[in-house]
């Protein structure tokens, strides 16, 4: 019996790091609990600078070989990883749900197929990547996308495998090697990904997975001189620490951070559609960076919108995320629940009114909440809660709607409900957001640029933008008569 293997919902998961094609234990472990019932699922190897250094060394050693592997062969292996993910969708889905509490039905039908698609998409995009050859006064210019080197990828717990593979796939496709550090609250599927990648024939050291608390292993990864790229998805305070640590080597950073995105509902909108979009904001128990958590509703329809929204919210089923009928699962951690409740209690004390919810439920659940009577400069309107807590404010004209929408330090996304295409164009042009959805929400194509403005992030990922980040782009200029001495 291997004491490093744990069984989660019938699936064997190795709790050790994956470094240089081998499982590596640490002296210490940390407990990983399920948000469903608080039970400890596993004792996970607790990495420190030692494991960070070993993983970067393995990534560095594997880099020349992987970078020299043909694009066609790299693409083949990425497709093989996608095949492995598809074969294990059920296992990945149940392990992820048990570990982070998000709905099993969406892991099964949306998230895990998307994980496989991340590998297929970037494998195919690699083969289409333009070289961009052109001529200058008879000289040829050849633009090449050279792999950058070892990349450190650090990811959060709210969509663990989805967000990890959205970075791992383009980094590997580009010819880089990777050290992935999953979040300590939901590390299990990253370990399964290591198994799948090895089975798919990914050479040892090309993908490494290290686990641990960010405060203990993070700095050793992000300040390492052999690391050529750092891609981080997570919170603003952590991003600041990572940026400071990366500054020593000026390591290029991609930062996908939080948001406080608006949903603008104009009186000319299809109100049923607007309410559909609004109710979606409780997805993943509100733990979605892109969530439109601030409803900005034109005054003349605000009462009717609120009535229909509350009706719909009352019909949502909160409970065990493994149950197909559940709409809202638990929040990730007792600490996160406490944080959510703190935001709500302070908002209520400052004069906000809970139209619905406003309190925790039994276990690790928070009642879906809508707060009104909130001031624009209040904490609840300005700061990301990352739980099922939404606010509603009204506006009287387009100008005011835009002003309120843009008046936070974030700029990740914005959603618009309007029946007027000209208004949509006018408003969209003035919104500060990396993504604007008009009469829809969460439609995301992997070739689209994704990222945020202001405190929501630095850089864009997706399609060519990902390759731009994960590659050292080189231009080679050759003279027209440069070969006279040859032969």
Binding site for ligand NAD (CB under 6 A): 154-158, 163, 181, 183-184, 214-215, 218-219, 222, 233-235, 238, 241-242, 256-259, 289, 384, 386, 412, 452, 457
As measured in angstroms, the least distance from the Cβ of 43 to ligand NAD is 17
As measured in angstroms, the least distance from the Cβ of 116 to ligand NAD is 19
User: Phi and psi of 316, rounded to 5°?
Assistant: -75, 145
As measured in angstroms, the least distance from the Cβ of 235 to ligand NAD is 3
DSSP 185-248: TS-HHHHHHHHHHHHTTPPTTSEEE--S-IIIIIHHHHT-TT--EEEEES-HHHHHHHHHHHGG
CB nearer to ligand NAD: give 365 or 450.
Answer: 450
- 122 CB burial (10 A radius; 0-12, 13-18, 19+): buried
The DSSP letter of residue 362 is: S
Clarify whether 256 is annotated catalytic. yes
The DSSP letter of residue 110 is: I
Q: Using CA atoms, how far apart are residues 194 and 18, in angstroms rounded to an integer?
A: 7
Whether the CB-CB separation of 15 and 6 falls below 8 Å is answered with yes
Query: Which residue stretches of 324-375 are H helix?
Result: 334-349
| Selected catalytic residue, list 289, 298, 461, 471 | 289
Residue matched to tokens 């879906």: 368
| C-alpha angle 49-55-61 in degrees, rounded to nearest 5 | 135
User: Phi and psi of 162, rounded to 5°?
Assistant: -60, -50
Angle between helices 112-128 and 71-87 (to 10 degrees): 170
Radius of gyration of the chain (CA): 24
CB nearer to ligand NAD: give 7 or 215.
Answer: 215
Clarify whether 184 is annotated catalytic. no
User: Phi and psi of 167, rounded to 5°?
Assistant: -100, -45
Whether the CB-CB separation of 260 and 290 falls below 8 Å is answered with no
3-state class (DSSP) for residue 89: helix
As measured in angstroms, the least distance from the Cβ of 135 to ligand NAD is 39
Pairing of strands 369-372, 389-395: parallel
DSSP 151-182: EEEE--SSSHHHHHHHHHHHHHHTT-EEEEE-
CB nearer to ligand NAD: give 202 or 458.
Answer: 458
The β-bridge partners of 230 are 152, 253
CB nearer to ligand NAD: give 105 or 460.
Answer: 460
As measured in angstroms, the least distance from the Cβ of 69 to ligand NAD is 29
Whether the CB-CB separation of 384 and 281 falls below 8 Å is answered with no
As measured in angstroms, the least distance from the Cβ of 74 to ligand NAD is 25
CB nearer to ligand NAD: give 158 or 415.
Answer: 158
CB nearer to ligand NAD: give 233 or 394.
Answer: 233
CB nearer to ligand NAD: give 336 or 369.
Answer: 336
As measured in angstroms, the least distance from the Cβ of 28 to ligand NAD is 16
| Selected catalytic residue, list 51, 256, 298, 461 | 256
CB nearer to ligand NAD: give 394 or 466.
Answer: 466
CB nearer to ligand NAD: give 114 or 181.
Answer: 181
Half-sphere exposure of 3 (CA within 13 A, CB side): 5
As measured in angstroms, the least distance from the Cβ of 163 to ligand NAD is 6
Whether the CB-CB separation of 111 and 103 falls below 8 Å is answered with no
Contacts for 247 with CB less than 8 Å, ≥ 6 apart: none
As measured in angstroms, the least distance from the Cβ of 159 to ligand NAD is 6
| C-alpha angle 270-275-281 in degrees, rounded to nearest 5 | 135
Q: Which residues participate in catalysis according to the annotation?
A: 256, 289
């Amino acid at each position: 019996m291997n004491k490093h293997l744990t069984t989660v919902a019938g699936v064997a998961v190795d709790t050790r790091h994956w470094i240089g094609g081998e499982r590596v234990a640490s002296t210490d472990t940390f407990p990983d609990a399920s948000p469903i019932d608080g039970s400890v699922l596993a004792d996970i190897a607790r990495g420190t600078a030692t494991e960070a250094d070993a993983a970067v060394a393995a990534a560095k050693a594997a880099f020349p070989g992987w970078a020299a592997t043909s694009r066609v062969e790299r693409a083949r292996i990425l497709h093989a990883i996608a095949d492995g993910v598809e074969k294990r969708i059920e296992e990945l889905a149940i392990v992820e749900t048990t570990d982070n509490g998000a709905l099993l039905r969406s892991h099964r039908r949306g998230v895990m197929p998307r994980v496989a698609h991340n590998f297929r998409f970037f494998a195919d995009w690699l083969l289409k990547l333009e070289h961009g050859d052109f001529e200058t006064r008879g000289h040829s210019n050849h633009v090449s996308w050279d792999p950058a080197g070892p990349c450190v990828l650090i990811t959060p717990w709210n969509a663990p495998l989805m967000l990890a593979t959205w970075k791992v796939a383009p980094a590997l496709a580009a010819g880089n090697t990777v050290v992935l550090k999953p979040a300590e609250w939901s590390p299990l599927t990253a370990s399964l990904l290591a198994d799948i990648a090895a089975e798919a024939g990914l050479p040892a050291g090309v993908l490494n997975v290290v686990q641990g608390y960010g405060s203990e292993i993070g700095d050793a990864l992000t300040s390492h001189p052999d690391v050529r790229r750092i891609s981080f998805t997570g919170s603003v305070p952590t991003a600041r620490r990572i940026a400071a640590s990366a500054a020593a080597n000026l390591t290029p950073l991609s930062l996908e951070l939080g948001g406080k995105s608006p949903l603008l509902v104009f009186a000319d909108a299809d109100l049923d559609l607007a309410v559909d979009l609004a109710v979606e904001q409780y997805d993943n128990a509100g733990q979605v960076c892109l969530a439109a958590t601030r409803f900005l509703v034109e005054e003349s329809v605000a009462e009717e919108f609120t009535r229909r929204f509350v009706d719909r919210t009352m019909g949502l089923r909160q409970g065990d995320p493994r149950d197909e009928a559940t709409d809202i699962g638990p929040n990730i951690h007792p600490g996160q629940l406490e944080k959510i409740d703190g935001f709500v209690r302070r908002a209520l004390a400052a004069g906000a009114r809970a139209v619905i919810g406003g309190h925790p439920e039994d276990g690790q659940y928070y009642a879906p909440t809508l707060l009104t009577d909130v001031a624009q400069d209040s904490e609840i309107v300005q700061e990301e809660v990352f739980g099922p807590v939404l606010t509603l404010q009204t506006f009287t004209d387009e100008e005011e709607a835009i002003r309120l929408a843009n008046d936070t330090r974030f700029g990740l996304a914005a959603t618009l409900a309007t029946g007027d295409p000209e208004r949509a164009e006018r408003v969209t042009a003035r919104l500060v957001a990396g993504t604007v959805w008009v009469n829809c929400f969460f439609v995301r194509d992997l070739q689209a640029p994704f990222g945020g403005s202001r405190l929501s992030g630095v850089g864009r990922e997706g399609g060519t933008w990902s390759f731009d980040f994960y590659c050292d782009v080189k231009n080679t200029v050759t003279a027209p008569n440069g070969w006279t001495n040859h032969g």
